[in-house]
Chain A
Amino acid sequence: MSESITVDVFNHLVGLAALELAPDQADYLRTQLNHQLKVIDELKAIPLDENVPINLHGVPYEKSSSALPREDIHKPFPDPRSILAQSPQVDDGYIIVPDIPHTTLK
């Protein structure tokens, strides 16, 4: 089977996905991705008229079945401390993270 997702392409995807993979995981995942791509390639053979629009959510959003946008009013969460408490590292109400790497934009 030809492999569209080569090792180089795969490694690029891993970076985009913010992952780091052990070699055995990488092998399994790349193999499965190529298997899946073979199925996905079936889509290419479907004759599609130029006028066929994209469909983002199945059921059409008509006025009768769509919620009106809610008013843009600030509603404070009743217990913000319970949200902060979920963070792995907090100090004095601030979430702590490791150093943020700086890059110089060209």
Chain B
Amino acid sequence: MELCDLSALELTQLLRQKKTSAVEILQAAVQRIGSVDGRSGALDAGALSEEDKQKVHAFITLTDDRALEHAQKIDQQLARGEDPGPLAGVPFSVKDIFCVSGTPSTAASRILANFKSPYTATAVARMEAAGALMVGKVNLDEFTHGSSNESSAFQPSPRNPWDTSRVPGGSSGGSAASVAAGEVPLSLGTDTAGSIRQPAAFCGVVGVKPTYGRVSRYGLIAFASSLDCPGPVARTVSDAAAMLQVISGADEHDATSAPTPAPDYLSTIENGVKGMRIGLSPDYFKITYPDPKTGELLIQPLPVEIEKSVREAAEKLAALGAEIVEDVPMPNTRFGIPAYFVISRVETASNLHRFDGVKYGLRTAAPTADLTRMYRQSRNEGFGLQPKLRILMGMYVSAAQYSEEYYKRALRVRTLIRQDFEAVYDPNGKYRLDALLTPTTPTTAFAMEAIYGNSVLMQYADQLTVAANHAGVPGISLPGGLDESGLPIGIQLLGTDFCEDKLFRIGRAYEHATENEVWRQIKPQVLR
């Protein structure tokens, strides 16, 4: 096994035992990137070659020099007997929606292609302060607007390491792909409707959406400020817990970051699930999707293989001592996408108005008679179709004459979604759950170009994840098997506010219980 296939915690152990060095670990990661990633995402990248179609293309920018300098410092610290931090020597990638001082911070958009941030996002700064090595910035859907990564202005867009004809999911597709392909053991992503959990499910890795407020959003280029959550992508539950430990906590730069202290996740992660109450909801075992011809919303059962994975996980957890509670009602889950179509669009229309060609980013090269024309031309040239679509919808549903009918109504529906969770987690209520166990996604990874362009169908890829964003509660997606095409299936745990520790315990117990299963031994296509 190569160094880059080890977990983050295994690497830190080897480093502290002086069986390897931070520089050697970094070299292994850089070598893996060189062998599987192919050319990095770029503007106006031209046609794809056959070789391009076999590669992962997770990265937009590589920061090997920065990482090497950091790795050398860590090795020097270790040589002096100093503690270089809990994630010392662990390579990680950063979704290119985070500002990092001195690096291009593009949001995968033409409008920010030339932007070099003058400051660093808190979550990234905390990772580096903990000794982790940032090896590069990874691709995403433009401004995180998508569920497949295909909307990136930087092409080739990432591909799924399990089958490079499939999407990695999105919007943190570069994060999930880079972790699945063994390029890095950890990645920093963001989750607004499922943007960490859905690609984690598609790529067979662990993805965590923390409680809203658990991780600072300072330095995150905003999509929908009331929904955006930075979080970890990892190959193991313990690695995800170790990373969340590092990036969580109050931040004076983000008034919405919570001072609620994060418990020591790793100290309880092996405590098992005995006595925990885990719910299954019929509302998560059916899927809604729009008929491509009529737009009519259709409801059908979940694909059999996905439902089977969730039910088998429940049986395993029950065998470990958890109490499985069936028929938990979550009746407002189905309104998650309609409400999201309104709330996220209003917030993004507001957030994206700052991109105007004045202070930073692209300004049109065309001659413009006045400032208004300059704004319009710059934004037209700089934004791709997906941001434009979201801005226009945000303008419409927040207009004075429609606000009551759409925006305010969506915010009240959000209350109903939140109340669903409060009712089933209520310690004095009928269900008294510690967590809900659900599928993460309605399908496994779909083919490149199969859905892109149909903005409604694409949004419904998030139908099983978005409710947690509305409610603010934490969620984790875990690898739960492979379908008959050999594509990963994700299972999801949803918890109560600031109780990520319980999700890690359940996730770790499931991981341990399945560690010898055949599907756990199968590697992604790009590593075979």
A59 part of interface (Cβ distance < 8 Å): yes
B410 part of interface (Cβ distance < 8 Å): yes
Contact B392 A89 (CB under 8 A): no
Which chain B residues numbered 407 to 458 have a C-beta less than 8 Å away from chain A? 408-416, 418, 453, 455-456
Contact B116 A86 (CB under 8 A): yes
Measured CA separation A55–B341 after assembly (Å): 15
Closest to B405 in A: A44
How far apart are A3's CB and chain B's nearest CB, in angstroms?
Answer: 12
Measured CA separation A13–B418 after assembly (Å): 32
B56-64, B249-257, B477-485 - interface stretch: B249-257
Contacts of B260 in A (CB 8 A): 64-65
Contacts of B258 in A (CB 8 A): 59, 65-67
Contact B380 A19 (CB under 8 A): yes
Instruction: Say yes or no: A86-B115 contact (C-beta < 8 A), given A56-B411, A57-B226.
Output: yes
B469 part of interface (Cβ distance < 8 Å): yes
Which chain A residues numbered 56 to 106 have a C-beta less than 8 Å away from chain B? 56-59, 64-67, 69-70, 77, 79, 82-83, 85-89, 95, 97-101
Contact A18 B396 (CB under 8 A): no
B231 part of interface (Cβ distance < 8 Å): no
How far apart are A12's CB and chain B's nearest CB, in angstroms?
Answer: 9
Instruction: Say yes or no: A39-B211 contact (C-beta < 8 A), given A18-B356, A20-B376, A99-B369.
Output: no
Contacts of B255 in A (CB 8 A): 67, 69-70
Instruction: Say yes or no: A48-B412 contact (C-beta < 8 A), given A65-B258, A66-B258.
Output: yes
Contact A48 B409 (CB under 8 A): yes
Which of A18, A37, A69, A79 has its CB near the most chain B CB atoms (within 10 A)?
A18
Proximity string of chain A (28-42) to chain B, C-beta cutoff 8 Å, 1 when within and 0 when not = 110011011111111
Interface residue tally on A, bucketed by range? 35 or more
Contact B415 A43 (CB under 8 A): no
How far apart are A97's CB and chain B's nearest CB, in angstroms?
Answer: 5
How far apart are B382's CB and chain A's nearest CB, in angstroms?
Answer: 10
Contact A52 B416 (CB under 8 A): yes
Instruction: Say yes or no: A59-B388 contact (C-beta < 8 A), given A42-B297, A86-B360.
Output: no
Instruction: Say yes or no: A17-B349 contact (C-beta < 8 A), given A43-B339, A52-B415, A55-B415.
Output: yes
Contacts of A25 in B (CB 8 A): 385, 388
Measured CA separation A43–B260 after assembly (Å): 34
Contact A32 B369 (CB under 8 A): no
Contact B393 A43 (CB under 8 A): no
Instruction: Say yes or no: A58-B470 contact (C-beta < 8 A), given A29-B388, A67-B250.
Output: yes
Contacts of A42 in B (CB 8 A): 297, 335, 338
A14 part of interface (Cβ distance < 8 Å): yes
Total of A-B residue pairs, C-beta within 8 Å:
198
Closest to A81 in B: B118
Instruction: Say yes or no: A13-B396 contact (C-beta < 8 A), given A39-B290, A56-B226.
Output: yes
B342 part of interface (Cβ distance < 8 Å): yes
Measured CA separation A66–B406 after assembly (Å): 29
Contacts of B257 in A (CB 8 A): 67
How far apart are B105's CB and chain A's nearest CB, in angstroms?
Answer: 10
Which of A17, A32, A82 has its CB near the most chain B CB atoms (within 10 A)?
A17
Contact B409 A43 (CB under 8 A): yes
Contact A86 B359 (CB under 8 A): yes
Measured CA separation A70–B253 after assembly (Å): 9
Measured CA separation A88–B111 after assembly (Å): 12
How far apart are B95's CB and chain A's nearest CB, in angstroms?
Answer: 20
Contact B472 A59 (CB under 8 A): yes
Contact pick for A46, options B380, B413, B472, CB 8 Å: B413
Measured CA separation A58–B360 after assembly (Å): 32
B98 part of interface (Cβ distance < 8 Å): no
A7 part of interface (Cβ distance < 8 Å): no
**Apart from A58-B227, A58-B418, what 8 extra A-B contacts exist at CB < 8 Å?**
A18-B375, A55-B414, A55-B418, A56-B411, A58-B226, A59-B211, A88-B358, A101-B371
15 A-B pairs in the complex with CB atoms less than 8 angstroms apart = A17-B395, A19-B391, A20-B376, A29-B389, A36-B455, A39-B456, A42-B338, A44-B405, A46-B413, A54-B408, A57-B212, A57-B256, A59-B258, A66-B259, A98-B371
8 closest A-B pairs (Cβ-Cβ)?
A58-B472, A59-B472, A88-B363, A86-B360, A54-B411, A82-B118, A55-B415, A55-B414
Residues of B whose CB lies within 8 Å of any CB of A are 115-116, 118, 211-213, 226-227, 250, 252, 254-260, 290, 294-295, 297, 335, 337-339, 341-342, 349, 353, 356-363, 368-377, 379-380, 383, 385, 388-389, 391-393, 395-397, 405-406, 408-416, 418, 453, 455-456, 459, 469-473, 497-498
